[in-house]
Structure 1
Amino acid sequence: MCTSHEHGSEHAQAGAGRRSFLRATALLGAAATAGVALPGVAEAAAQSRWRPDTDSRRFTLAVMPDTQYLFDGPSIDKAPVEASLRYLLERCEDKGAENLVFLSHLGDLTQNGTAAEVTAISEAFGLLDRRGVGYSVLAGNHDVKSSTDDQRGSTPYLDAFGPDRFRGKPTYGGASSDGYNTFHLFTAAGREWMVLALDWRLSAKGYAWAKDVLARHPRTPVVLTTHELVVEDDTLSAYGQQLWDRLIEDHDQIFLTLNGHYWPAGRATRKNAAGHDVHLHLTNYQNRYFGGAAMIRLYRFDLDRNVIDVETVSPWILGRAGKGLNELERQEIELSGDADRFTVEVDFAERFSGFAPVPARAERPVSRLLIPGTVAYWRFESAAKDTVRDLSGRGNDLSLVTVGGGTLGWSADHHPDQPGHGSLEFQGYKSPLKGAYLRTVDGAPINSATFKAGYTIEAFYRLPADWDPSHHAWSGIVSRTGTGGAAGKTGDDPDEPLATLSLSNDREPQWAMRPLNQEGIATNWGQETPLETWWHLAVVNDGRHTTLYVEGCPVVRNPKATSIGIASVGLPWLLGGYEYGGKIDQILHGRLGDVRVVERALPVTSFMTH
């Protein structure tokens, strides 16, 4: 691309455009002395093979846009490109620094597409070939005759970067018959991903080939790379609009597109035919110091945080920092503008659900949950009747208690990792007190159990959007009735129950109980849990200390004091209810899933979520 407004259809015009650019930025002198290599770097061929962590849910896709001004007739300088590639290779060697899974060049590798220019950048990319790194390239309008499409035939670009170069590489998927369009498959976060690298101009045959590739990989998320698509923020070029209309819009697999050609960098987001966002990014720095200095863009995927963190950096300038940088280099070493350093939020499971839905976890049989030491196991696969059986066979059945005419509903809604596929819908209200809850029957063995050797109490819950702390706070998920005073433990508030796993006014789970070895109340606190989300709680005591877990993660406010057993006066346990002073005081407003009590400490790997 010659300027941000002209399309550079002729190579002669492109050369003039470059000279105008250098004069305008007073860099003709710098261009004359451009051949500065990254110092002190060993030859990559002597290093080990590239082996990304294919299971990690954090990985990096690197992008290199237009490098044409570095490969322009007599002004050829491979050093910036090699510096960027070595930078990536070195960070891959440093475990944890960069889990690089793939690199994509966005076209206009060269200025004039001559054999000498193409040979020079081909030699630079040999660094990746020797290490077995997966990468893609594609032709821009300066690499080929810009008036042609992918049926143009032989060119120096195709001789160097055609299918023969990639054949045999583990990430290479295939090419169109003309050789100008390729697709590449890599594994990251335990699944297959695709980079679909398309020519500067697709022919009818090119479109047909691309659609066939997508049809043959119907469950694979796709990053589409091409030279021209976005022209500026929120705007596609005429050709970019054609590419959207003829390919991107109707193929939900394409969730991200990357292109160069224009400047400055920009972004657009569009809804596809499935109603999902497609993120379309323009990245190109050829208008900046040293023709962009082979600046790279790093797309860091984090599937746990559901984000792609994007960073733009110049490794060539970084490598020169030890010798002192000039004024323009200091400005360009790393870009921090909104178009260069940003975060894209992507709920990957939801975004890919239309073509690769995550299969719902199957319901697990009761027998698999009855691990050694199970004292009680309650699950709700249908509406609660007067009695809910304890599936452990220990006789800790539950009876239904209604207050103020309240009812207890049932829903098929459940935590995705919950063994049983159903939940009870509690509809508690504080004043006047109304709702329904469950209590263990009189004489149930669990009523008198003190768990001296340890225990694990697990429960799943979900709070609705209308949950209001003024009416619903401090309701119990699981609690033991009987007061501290009745147990002869008068420390703290003697009217508090002997044990309760409750939700505070800030929706923080709290385990507050009286151990056998102390008078007062021992309390574990969790963090705020958002509404309309399923949560798994586990309280684990190893006979000495108690730890509260939220979604299998220990909370910060777990007391260090010794805590042995749970005090008892032989009274029932409640599900969805909370007593104060020996009387029902609050009823849960929300859904409650499976609840299990085990008379020993369980590791996280034995929780019901596993």
Structure 2
Amino acid sequence: MNYELTYLKGIRSFILILITVLITGSSLAQQKSFEFVVLPDTQTYVEEYPEIYLHQMRWLANNKDRFSFALHVGDITQNNNGKEWDIAKKGFNIIQGKLPFSFGLGNHDMGSESGKFADTRNTSLANAYFTASDFANLKTTFPEGKIDNLLSEFTIGEQKWMVLSLEFGPRNKTIAWADKMITKYPEHNFIIVTHAYVYEDSTLHDGEDWWLPENYGIGKDTGEETPNNGAQLWEKLIKKHGNISMVFSGHILKSGVGTLVSEGKNGNKVYQMLANYQKGVEGSENGGNGFLRIIKVNPENQRIEVKTYSPWLDEFKKEKANGFTFKNVLFK
């Protein structure tokens, strides 16, 4: 018997098995599922029901090992004053250091003074209460030194994700910056957060209603300061990039929910969702009763599962508009 040949064959078999295990393990790591949370407009909570908002945040902190990220779609406050920002910051302090988070400022988070909703693009209070150091996983901000627009990163297995949070009515110059950021990271899947984007009838935000960014005071701005609505944001930015996966927004009342799947120019599908349960939304109680969105991303099964849950009530919304699954979803 040629023991040397047998030994070499054994070594070869072991190496092949090891390579197979490593490749399989890498593939499984890349396909790992994960969950993140979307916080809809919290403005009524910080104004009237702070205990519900703080309960949401404590629940997130207690489930820090379950979730990979927390997104807020804006209108953090109702009246953009110190009292409400105190409560808002208290809530985010609960999850700071436990769960990475980001937010896109809404029309109620900016203005020349309290109660002046986006009459100007003054975000001085938001920037007084939050700085870049508050945001774990932060890559950069725009404008530099301000938290009006945020780019954050997280990684699940070998899959890379970016959260791009954009201001209410993103300005032309903000879109130009966002375009550069998305182009800079072609291997990342992008999640975009912006306050006003999809209507409750599941169409892009345009039309001639008072919800449009251009119908607020900031609408008078021109040139690179010109604000953009949802349809304009789609045309100028989102449809251009094949690595944008999801878009989340709030702002709109009526039913407060909408879902739109659109195909970008690269053939990719973009999953766009409106969720808003605040005071003024049909059927809303206690400013929204603490309902938030839980998003489960399952690359292996090519699915995005959406559920709407209230930690305050410990119950799920059962309507199809609040619990659904996107199938055959492709990721980077």
Determine if the TM-score, normalized by the shorter chain, exceeds 0.5.
yes
Residues 162-195 of structure 1, C-alpha deviations (whole Å, 9 max, x = no match):
42422xx2x1111002430001100114221011
Residue 181 of structure 2 corresponds to residue 213 of structure 1: yes
Correspondence list, 1:472-491, <5 A? none
Separation (CA, whole Å) in 1 of partners of 2:72 and 2:323: 19
Structure with more relative contact order (C-alpha pairs < 8 Å, separation 6 or more): 2
**2:154 and 2:161 in contact (8 A); partners too:** yes
- Per the alignment, do residues 245 and 148 of structure 1 end up closer, same or farther by CA in structure 2, a change over 3 Å counting? farther
Residue 69 of structure 2 corresponds to residue 106 of structure 1: no
Correspondence list, 1:3-42, <5 A? none
**1:148 and 1:201 in contact (8 A); partners too:** no
**What is the match of residue 141 of structure 2?**
175
Letter in 2 for 1:237: H
**What is the match of residue 248 of structure 2?**
258
Separation (CA, whole Å) in 1 of partners of 2:326 and 2:94: 30
Residue 324 of structure 2 corresponds to residue 348 of structure 1: no
**What is the match of residue 61 of structure 2?**
89
Residues 538-565 of structure 1, C-alpha deviations (whole Å, 9 max, x = no match):
xxxxxxxxxxxxxxxxxxxxxxxxxxxx
Residue 38 of structure 2 corresponds to residue 63 of structure 1: yes
**What is the match of residue 216 of structure 2?**
none
**What is the match of residue 117 of structure 1?**
84
Letter in 1 for 2:277: Y
**What is the match of residue 11 of structure 2?**
none
- Per the alignment, do residues 258 and 154 of structure 1 end up closer, same or farther by CA in structure 2, a change over 3 Å counting? closer
**1:68 and 1:108 in contact (8 A); partners too:** yes
**What is the match of residue 303 of structure 2?**
307
Letter in 2 for 1:295: F
Residues 490-548 of structure 1, C-alpha deviations (whole Å, 9 max, x = no match):
xxxxxxxxxxxxxxxxxxxxxxxxxxxxxxxxxxxxxxxxxxxxxxxxxxxxxxxxxxx
Q: 2:156 aligns with which of 178, 185, 188?
A: 188
Separation (CA, whole Å) in 1 of partners of 2:230 and 2:198: 6
Residue 52 of structure 2 corresponds to residue 80 of structure 1: yes
Residues 570-594 of structure 1, C-alpha deviations (whole Å, 9 max, x = no match):
xxxxxxxxxxxxxxxxxxxxxxxxx
**What is the match of residue 109 of structure 2?**
143
More strand by share: 1
Letter in 1 for 2:261: T
Separation (CA, whole Å) in 2 of partners of 1:303 and 1:250: 23
Aligned residues: 269
Residues 448-494 of structure 1, C-alpha deviations (whole Å, 9 max, x = no match):
xxxxxxxxxxxxxxxxxxxxxxxxxxxxxxxxxxxxxxxxxxxxxxx
Give secondary structure in 1 for the equivalent of 2:77: coil
Alpha-carbon offset, residue 213 of structure 1? 1.0
Residues 310-345 of structure 1, C-alpha deviations (whole Å, 9 max, x = no match):
111110122xxxxxxxxxxxxxx3201111101111
Alpha-carbon offset, residue 107 of structure 1? 0.4
- Per the alignment, do residues 148 and 198 of structure 1 end up closer, same or farther by CA in structure 2, a change over 3 Å counting? farther
User: Alignment RMSD, CA only?
Assistant: 1.9
- Per the alignment, do residues 147 and 108 of structure 1 end up closer, same or farther by CA in structure 2, a change over 3 Å counting? closer
Q: 1:226 aligns with which of 185, 194, 213?
A: 194
**What is the match of residue 134 of structure 1?**
100
Separation (CA, whole Å) in 2 of partners of 1:90 and 1:118: 23
More helix by share: 2
Residue 247 of structure 2 corresponds to residue 281 of structure 1: no
Alpha-carbon offset, residue 91 of structure 1? 3.1
Alpha-carbon offset, residue 256 of structure 1? 0.8
Give secondary structure in 2 for the equivalent of 1:236: coil
Which has the higher Rg, Structure 1 or Structure 2?
1
- Per the alignment, do residues 154 and 63 of structure 1 end up closer, same or farther by CA in structure 2, a change over 3 Å counting? closer
Letter in 2 for 1:161: F
Separation (CA, whole Å) in 1 of partners of 2:269 and 2:95: 33
Alpha-carbon offset, residue 148 of structure 1? 5.3
Separation (CA, whole Å) in 2 of partners of 1:65 and 1:142: 13
Percentage of matched positions with identical amino acids: 28
Separation (CA, whole Å) in 2 of partners of 1:120 and 1:55: 39
Correspondence list, 1:312-351, <5 A? 312-318=308-314, 333-349=315-331
**1:104 and 1:225 in contact (8 A); partners too:** yes
Separation (CA, whole Å) in 1 of partners of 2:158 and 2:57: 25
- Per the alignment, do residues 115 and 136 of structure 1 end up closer, same or farther by CA in structure 2, a change over 3 Å counting? same
**1:233 and 1:268 in contact (8 A); partners too:** no
Correspondence list, 1:441-520, <5 A? none
Letter in 2 for 1:211: D
Residue 212 of structure 2 corresponds to residue 244 of structure 1: no
Letter in 1 for 2:241: H
- Per the alignment, do residues 55 and 159 of structure 1 end up closer, same or farther by CA in structure 2, a change over 3 Å counting? farther
**1:229 and 1:241 in contact (8 A); partners too:** yes
Alpha-carbon offset, residue 274 of structure 1? 1.1
Residues 52-88 of structure 1, C-alpha deviations (whole Å, 9 max, x = no match):
xx8771110100000111122xx3x332122222223
**2:197 and 2:230 in contact (8 A); partners too:** yes
**1:234 and 1:269 in contact (8 A); partners too:** no
**What is the match of residue 402 of structure 1?**
none
Give secondary structure in 2 for the equivalent of 1:294: coil
Letter in 1 for 2:319: G
Q: Give the gaps of 5 or more residues in structure 1.
A: 1-53, 319-332, 353-610
**What is the match of residue 292 of structure 2?**
296
Separation (CA, whole Å) in 2 of partners of 1:190 and 1:138: 27
Letter in 1 for 2:68: V
Task: Normalising by structure 2, report the TM-score.
Answer: 0.76
Correspondence list, 1:456-605, <5 A? none
